[in-house]
């Protein structure tokens, strides 16, 4: 849903396991049960203090058989556990070519939230880098393809499925846990909206009316939350299901992936942003998004699941914001 191709980094990933045990206090010491340093991670040279923009260099190609992590600055306070969501700054490079793929800039303006999930089938190496890190830590890490994006790679960023990822990460803070699902007073959608039913876990099933889609944007609150209000440009954590009105097919669902997603409201299509801004955490909303506020300006989606003239519908649980 985000416009940036490296959005997979912050796709929602959440599961709960035991905490790690701190090591001997030296920055590069191994922590029991956590990823250790290796020749590859130690080959990443980083100048600059944690919290400032680093100067990063390494000799490509840089590879590792499993994820390696060098703790350059230890940080202070409780260490991140599997299931925590951490706020991070990062730069990531193609380990084969040495090219930078993406960076938050380390300015404090573009830090991203990432839920740690060491059981994830995709980008598990990134979770392994973050697990056991305390706020203020700076990490250099190398992730092999099998623990990164797999054989698919990221074609948009010229990352092949055989190429490793090299990260330098600053852990800014460990965030409060988001809600599991929407909670609050029940609302009701107007006539003509799709019908929504929820299973025991809160995942929605959406039934599209047997009629042409409306031409205008539509929004209704199905559950009225009582938490903080989502501000323009804020970062949100949500569970959502998206369905194509024209075809009746679900094209995206965090529920089906098994974990919520986190992203900034200004990093998604306009109709999705308009559905979130001004709503309270804990709310569930349904949005009908016409093509001009959806994927119409982009000519539809690359995979063809949404055409340039298709209207789409989202049901969204707003689980947290910052």
Question: Class of the 185-321 domain?
Answer: alpha beta
The pTM assigned to this predicted structure is 0.62
| Residues of each domain in the chain carrying CATH 3.10.50.40 | 5-175, 185-321
Question: Topology of domain 5-175, per CATH?
Answer: Chitinase A; domain 3 (3.10.50)
Contacts of 67 (CB under 8 A, 6+ apart): 35, 124, 125, 128, 129, 141, 142, 143, 144, 147
SS3 298: helix
Can you tell me the distance from the alpha carbon of 68 to that of 125, in angstroms, rounded to the nearest whole number?
A: 9
pLDDT at 28: 52
Q: Which two tokens stand for residue 58?
A: 């390494």
pLDDT at 26: 46
Can you tell me the distance from the alpha carbon of 298 to that of 314, in angstroms, rounded to the nearest whole number?
A: 18
Can you tell me the distance from the alpha carbon of 49 to that of 138, in angstroms, rounded to the nearest whole number?
A: 8
C-beta of residue 72 within 8 angstroms of C-beta of residue 56: no
Residue ranges in the chain modelled with pLDDT below 50:
1-26, 29
Can you tell me the distance from the alpha carbon of 194 to that of 211, in angstroms, rounded to the nearest whole number?
A: 10
pLDDT at 101: 95
Residue 159 has φ and ψ, to the nearest 5°, of -105, 115
Which residue, 312, 313, 279, is CA-closest to 182? 279
317: DSSP letter: E
Q: Which two tokens stand for residue 77?
A: 């306070």
Q: Alpha helices of 33-110 — where are they, by DSSP H?
A: 39-42
pLDDT at 262: 86
pLDDT at 1: 39
Which residue, 148, 130, 147, is CA-closest to 139? 130
């Amino acid at each position: 849903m985000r416009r940036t191709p490296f959005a997979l980094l912050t796709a929602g990933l959440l599961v709960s396991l035991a905490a790690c045990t701190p090591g001997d206090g030296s920055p590069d010491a191994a922590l029991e049960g956590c990823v250790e340093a290796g020749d590859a991670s130690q080959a990443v040279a980083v100048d600059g203090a944690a919290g400032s923009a680093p100067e990063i260099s390494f000799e490509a190609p840089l590879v590792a058989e499993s994820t390696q992590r060098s703790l350059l600055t230890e940080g202070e306070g409780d260490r991140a556990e599997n299931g925590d969501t951490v706020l991070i700054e990062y730069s990531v490079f193609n380990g084969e070519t040495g090219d930078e793929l993406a960076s938050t800039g380390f300015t404090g303006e573009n830090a991203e939230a990432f839920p740690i999930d060491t059981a994830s089938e995709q980008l598990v190496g990134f979770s392994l880098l973050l697990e056991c890190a305390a706020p203020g830590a700076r990490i250099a890490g190398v992730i092999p393809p099998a623990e990164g994006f797999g054989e698919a790679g990221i074609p948009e960023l010229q990352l092949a499925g055989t190429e490793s990822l090299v990260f330098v990460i600053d852990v800014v803070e460990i965030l409060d846990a988001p809600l599991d699902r929407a909670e609050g007073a029940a609302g009701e959608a107007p006539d003509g909206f799709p019908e929504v039913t929820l299973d025991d876990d809160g995942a929605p099933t959406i039934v599209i009316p047997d009629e042409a889609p409306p031409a205008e944007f539509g929004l209704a609150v199905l559950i009225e939350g009582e938490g903080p209000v989502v501000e323009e440009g804020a970062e949100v954590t949500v569970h959502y299901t998206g369905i194509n009105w024209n075809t009746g097919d679900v094209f995206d669902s965090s529920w089906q992936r098994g974990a919520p997603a986190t992203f900034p409201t200004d990093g998604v299509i306009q109709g999705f942003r308009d559905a979130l801004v001004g709503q309270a955490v804990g709310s569930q909303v349904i949005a009908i998004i016409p093509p001009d506020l959806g994927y119409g300006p982009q000519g539809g989606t690359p995979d063809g699941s949404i055409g340039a003239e298709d209207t789409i519908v989202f049901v969204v649980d707003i689980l947290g914001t910052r």
